[in-house]
Amino acid sequence: MISAAAGIVTILAQRSGINQTSLSDNSGNALISYSVYIWKMFYPVNLAVFYPFDISAVTTGKVLSAGVAMLGATVFVFWKGMKRKYLIVGWLWYIVTLIPVIGLIRVGDQAMADRYTYIPLVGLFIILAWGIPDLVSGWRYRNEFIIALTLVVMPVLMALT
C-alpha cells in the first residue's frame, strides 16, 4: 500500500515528465528489464547510473526471449516451490517489489535503473541463500564447499563490478 501511494504521488508530482510511449512498449521494456536485472546480478558489467530508453531496443525477439525466460523461471519456481517455499518467497519478492519502478508508467527517460534493484534483489538472494545449501545438503564437505564458493565468487563479482 505504501508503494502504491508513493507511485501515485510520483505520477502526480511529475505529470509533465511522464513519457507518452505506449503501454505495449513500456510492458516490453519492463519484461526485458526484469531479465536484464537478473543477468546483471550474476554478471555485473557495464553498470550505469542512467540507461536511456530507446524504443528500437524493445524488439519483438528481446521481448519474446525475456517473456519465455521469465515464464519458464516462474513455472519452475512454482513447480519446485511446493517443497522449497523459499523459491516462491524469493521469486515473488523480486517480481512484486519491482512493479512500482519497472516502468509500466515511465517517468523520465530511463529504460531501467540499477538503483531500483536494491530491495528486489533481496528476493533472489533469498533463493541463493537457502538454495545453495539445499542443493549441497547431502555433501560431506558442504560447509567447506560453500565457503570456497564464496571466496571465489565474491572477488570475481567485485572485480567485474
**Cell 538503483 maps to which residue?**
115
d(CA 104, CA 22): 9
The domain spans of the chain are 2-160
Q: Which of 35, 4, 23 is CA-nearest to residue 112?
A: 35
Comparing 88 with 23, the larger pLDDT belongs to 88
Phi/psi at 52 (5° precision) = -65, 140
Looking at residue 19, what is its pLDDT? 61
Looking at residue 33, what is its pLDDT? 95
d(CA 121, CA 116): 9
- Could you tell me how far CA 147 lies from the centroid of its own chain? 25
Q: Choose from 19-28, 53-62, 124-133 the range with maximum mean pLDDT.
A: 124-133
Looking at residue 14, what is its pLDDT? 62
Helix ranges restricted to H, 43-141: 60-80, 85-98, 120-135
Residue pair 42/103 in contact by the 8 Å Cβ criterion: no
Comparing 14 with 100, the larger pLDDT belongs to 100
User: Quick check: helix, strand or coil at residue 111?
Assistant: strand
Q: Which of 113, 115, 122 is CA-nearest to residue 95?
A: 122
Comparing 141 with 110, the larger pLDDT belongs to 141
What letter would DSSP give residue 16?
Answer: G
Q: Which pTM was predicted?
A: 0.85
Comparing 75 with 22, the larger pLDDT belongs to 75
pLDDT in tens, 32-66: 999 999 999 999 999 988 898 888 889 999 999 99
d(CA 92, CA 113): 20
- Could you tell me how far CA 124 lies from the centroid of its own chain? 8
Helix (H) or strand (E) holding 13: helix 2-13
pLDDT in tens, 65-117: 999 999 999 999 999 999 999 999 999 999 999 998 888 877 777 888 888 89
Least confident of 9-18, 71-80, 119-128, 144-153: 9-18
